[in-house]
Amino acid sequence: MFDTLTDSFTAAIKKIRFHDDDKALTKALDELKKSLLKADVNHKVVKELIAEVQIETKKNGIGKDQFLDALRAALYKLLEIGGNKGFTFVPNPPTVILMTGLQGSGKTTTTGKLANYLKNKQKKVLIVAADLQRLAAVEQLRQITTQIGVELYENEATKNPVEVVAAALKKANDGIYDVVLIDTAGRLAIDDELMNELEAVKKAANPSEIFYVADSMTGQDAVKTATSFKEKIGIDGVILSKYDGDSKGGVALGLASQVLVPLRFIGSGEKMEDLEVFLPDRIVNRLMGFGDIEGLAEKTAGAIDEKQAKRLTKKIQKGQFNFNDFLEQMESMKKMGSMKSLMGMIPGMGNMSKALKDFDMENSSELKNIKSMVSSMTLKERENPDLLNNSRKGRIAKGCGLEIVEINRMIKQFKNAGKMAKRFSGKNGMKDLQSMMG
Ligand code: GDP
């Protein structure tokens, strides 16, 4: 997700050849400055960061380690303005969050993503449909909440968001919800009507925090609108959406210091899983190419259900792993997001070869073929791959539009994978693996 920025930092770091002299430091700083400006980090932010790194490096004696330490400290200082926060819960639930933003910024989608993030943390969430301006917003929330399995409060009988919010909170105040997320109306641009409505909704909701969703594809405009919202209704955090479409990525680096409000989350795709918590201490590690193991654990924990994992292990041990399990596995892999977004979280993988980083689980043609082959099987065939004789294979090939040799190859591959999995999940698994590797 922070590929471009990470690349900038690691490239600058790599080029440093310190021989304990001032010239080397100047060169390294020049390199860093150039790449940060290229990544669209605000020039004032760059200037301050460079000055800070220079002073700190000199203080401790010029060398690569001193430079890296100074850079790490300066980055952290820059990002943690307003705190190292993520999502914060109030002591007496529910935590009420007002989701604000301009129309099209991704506010409604982000509300769903945030609910999904909290649900994965075992929190009970209520989403309130209080965007009654954009016609499709309520329907969009219906679809999202059904998809992620979160409750929605809506009231079609009124066009008054204040009424909706008041009634929703009455329902939520019995304490069964941990978090209430209120999706508010947006406009194409900031105007008085919008601010008046938000002010009234804010009064009715008495929110724990107000989040502003900013479209990162608008570059420095995202900073400007966030600042306006902060001045007009007060915001406690920013969520940058559409970070996947922002090839430069520098806005994320300067935002907290420019708006003086912390960046809390980053949205990086259209799917519900495409949201990452923005915690400065973790992000600094990633930017410097050290990965983010904690973030990785969080993402995979949300995607893989422990019970499901145990059930599958048992099936594999008994040699009963079938095509249905296979599809299920593929689905949970998909839930984890693209390989690309996970790769940067693994230490040392931050600047891996582009080819591997770009591997796209969902669009891989091999995986697509396997999926369409399985879809053409009957339920019995999926459960029992041994049923697949030549006439059945022929029917499946026709059904999914693939050649029979392809079908044979994929079935063989699947059976081999099953055998291997069985072998290594057994009691002597590790021994077998070791002996095989010599
Ligand atoms: P709203 O008017 O602010 O509520 O905006 P929506 O939530 O309807 O989002 C507008 C469009 O942006 C939709 O097509 C979303 O799918 C898309 N969108 C939202 N967040 C992201 C993101 O992080 N990445 C990408 N690529 N698209 C996004």
Domain boundaries, the chain: 3-79, 95-279, 306-436
The residue nearest atom 11 of ligand 1, judged by CA position, is 106
Determine whether the shortest distance from the Cβ of 100 to ligand 1 is under 6 A.
Answer: no
The domain at 306-436 falls in which architecture?
Answer: Orthogonal Bundle (1.10)
Confidence band (pLDDT; 50, 70, 90) for 85? Answer: confident
pLDDT beyond 70 at 281: yes
Q: How much distance in Å is there from the Cα of 267 to the middle of ligand 1? A: 9
Instruction: Give the separation between CA 137 and CA 153, rounded to whole angstroms.
Output: 13
For a ligand 1 pocket test, name from 98, 100, 102, 109 the mutation site with the most ligand atoms within 8 angstroms of its C-beta.
109
- DSSP helix, strand, coil percent of the chain (3-state; round to 5): 60, 10, 30
Average pLDDT over residues 168-175: 86
Q: C-alpha dihedral over 215, 247, 76, 33, to 10 degrees?
A: -130
Q: How much distance in Å is there from the Cα of 112 to the middle of ligand 1? A: 11
The residue nearest atom 22 of ligand 1, judged by CA position, is 242
Give CA angle at 367 (143, 352), nearest 5°.
Answer: 95
Q: How much distance in Å is there from the Cα of 259 to the middle of ligand 1? A: 22
Least confidently predicted of 12-26, 127-141, 148-162: 12-26
The residue nearest atom 5 of ligand 1, judged by CA position, is 106
Backbone CA torsion sign across 405, 408, 411, 413: negative
User: What's residue 436's pLDDT?
Assistant: 44
Instruction: Give the separation between CA 434 and CA 419, rounded to whole angstroms.
Output: 17
Q: How much distance in Å is there from the Cα of 241 to the middle of ligand 1? A: 7
CATH topology of domain 3-79: Four Helix Bundle (Hemerythrin (Met), subunit A) (1.20.120)
Determine whether the shortest distance from the Cβ of 107 to ligand 1 is under 6 A.
Answer: yes
pLDDT beyond 80 at 174: no
Quick check: ipTM above 0.85?
yes
Q: How much distance in Å is there from the Cα of 269 to the middle of ligand 1? A: 8
User: What's residue 358's pLDDT?
Assistant: 54
Determine whether the shortest distance from the Cβ of 267 to ligand 1 is under 6 A.
Answer: yes
Span between the terminal Cα atoms of the chain, in Å: 38
Segment of 16-20, 187-191, 397-401 carrying the highest mean pLDDT: 397-401
User: What's residue 359's pLDDT?
Assistant: 55
Average pLDDT over the chain reads: 83
Long-range CB contacts (< 8 A, 24+ apart) of 372-377?
372/400, 372/401, 372/402, 373/400, 373/402, 373/407, 373/410, 374/323, 374/326, 374/327, 375/400, 376/400, 377/323
Segment of 23-27, 235-239, 282-286 carrying the highest mean pLDDT: 235-239
H or E, element range at 101: strand 95-101
Q: Which residues contact 18 (CB under 8 A, 6 or more apart)?
A: 24, 25, 28, 62, 63, 64, 67
Rama region for 49: left / alpha / beta (φ>0; ψ in -120 to 50; rest): alpha
Q: How much distance in Å is there from the Cα of 258 to the middle of ligand 1? A: 24
Instruction: Give the separation between CA 79 and CA 256, rounded to whole angstroms.
Output: 6
CATH number of 95-279: 3.40.50.300
User: What's residue 394's pLDDT?
Assistant: 94
Tokens at 265, concatenated:
């989350």
The atom number, within ligand 1, closest to the CA of 101 reads 3
| Rg of the Cα atoms in the chain | 26
Confidence band (pLDDT; 50, 70, 90) for 338? Answer: low
Burial class of residue 81 (count of CB atoms within 10 Å of its CB; 0-12, 13-18, 19+):
middle
pLDDT beyond 70 at 130: yes
Tokens at 404, concatenated:
């029979």
Q: Which residues contact 290 (CB under 8 A, 6 or more apart)?
A: 347, 350
No. of H helices and E strands in the chain?
A: 21, 8
What letter represents residue 302's amino acid? G
Give the residue from 324, 326, 361, 322 showing the smallest Cα distance to 341.
361
Average pLDDT over residues 338-349: 59
Q: How much distance in Å is there from the Cα of 109 to the middle of ligand 1? A: 6
The residue nearest atom 28 of ligand 1, judged by CA position, is 270
Share of the chain above pLDDT 70, in %: 79
